[in-house]
Chain A
Amino acid sequence: MENFNEEIAEILEVDAVNMDDHLASFDCWDSLTILSILALASENYNVTISAEEINDAVSVVGLKKLIQSKVQ
């Protein structure tokens, strides 16, 4: 997952993210952002996550851990 930070920054429409940034604090945060994260997880990591899991992950690091936990 070495490119994860850049990938998530692009989706969140910022130049860079801090690991403890809250997902919902980004200006662009909405259902489309969540869908883009689902697509990222599915395309780049071949894992399936739900909108609820993304919301529960709260932060960038939480999201990274969520995806990591599902990568086989």
Chain B
Amino acid sequence: MFVVIKIHQRMNLHFKNKKVTGILTVLPSKEVLFEDEMGNYNAPIGKSLKLKAAMGFKSKRVVQDGITSSDLCIFGLSHLFDKQLLCKQDIDALIMVTQSPDYIMPPTSNVIQGHFGLKHDMICLDINQGCAGYIIGLIQAFMLLDQKSINKVVLMNADVLSPIVSKKDRNSNPLIGDGASITIIEKSIDNEEIFVNLKMNGEGAFAIHVPAGGARLPKSQETGLIEEDLNGNLRSKNHLVMKGDQVFNFVQTEVPPLIEALYKYSKIDKDDIDFFMFHQPNKFMLNKLADRLGVERDKLPSNIVENFGNASGVTIPLNISFNLGDKLCNKKYRLCLSGFGVGLTWGAMIIEMKNLAFCKIINK
């Protein structure tokens, strides 16, 4: 007897004839060590040092006062224009993925377009996404490239969240860093296939959030009042707040089945993937995730938070720039990218990258 099982259609996406041709990451030069801020926390030094060891906290990059997401992107784009790695005329779309836009309106991508006086025949598009923002941004770029008149898309991921994290919040402050990345995506004739699996769950929308500052709860004197949570962290409603337990459980339970589904859909086996370039929340979570996925830890780098901090959607391109870098300019790797967090949003992509024109980090 046959039993018919109805299987939910998964959010499987497939793209062809698109390629990443360059990745540039821009980091602020200012470096803050975990120890520099340890005295701010309402916890004994010994416990903070234990946290540092477990999470892999060491050093993070944060902007100087007043520097915004667009400043980092403009610095990076200027570098590419000056070095003739990108031609202004060639840009058909400018995508900006950020949760820290310069203004509520206009879109930051339009501000950047205006700064450089780019041609008017183009699409500027801001996307409000965080930890999975690189996956979302790439998907958007691939969809735009299906259009005949769009040949080159510039994807910017930028976040400057350090100003809205309480310095006395040991839950978030040690890990949050700032940064930006610029990825160039173009049409290709090499028949590359790209596979994506994506999920969202708005019921977990408040697991990571900033309560005040939007229309629901405008900033006021009241929202600026500092309160203490159960663990002794001090923050106001203007600050970012993260429910660490929810996020940990979410990542451990949802990401492995997502990746498994992607293997099945793409018919690409775990062993055929060279590197797992994941979002970087902290070392603890990534090592647990690697173990659960049965992936050797050296194939799944977890060294971004300790060196630079977690700049939300920037972590995946930063991970690629830092850990693969130049190698991607003359070698070919099959990568599994995965981003997970704010939204809640989680997504994974299997993509081949090779012969990039550039793959590096510059400091502003």
Contacts and interface: CB of A to CB of B under 8 A. Distances in A.
A32 B249 contact: no
B248 interface: yes
Given A39-B288, A48-B253, A30 B248 contact: no
A50 B247 CA distance: 10
What's the dominant secondary structure at chain A's contact region?
helix
B253 A32 contact: no
Given A31-B171, A48-B253, A38 B248 contact: yes
Contact of A50 (B43, B171, B249): B249
Interface string A24-59: 000010111011101100110000111110010000
A35 B249 contact: no
Interface residues of B, number: 21
The number of chain A residues touching the other chain, given as a range, is: 10 to 19
Contacts of A55: 230
A14 B43 CA distance: 20
Contacts of B43: 30
Of B51, B248, B284, B288, most buried by chain A (CB within 10 Å of CB) is B248
B171 to A, nearest CB: 7
Contacts of A42: 249, 252-253, 288
B245 A30 contact: no
B54 A32 contact: yes
Interface of B: 43, 47, 50-51, 54, 170-171, 230-231, 243-246, 248-249, 252-253, 284, 288, 291-292
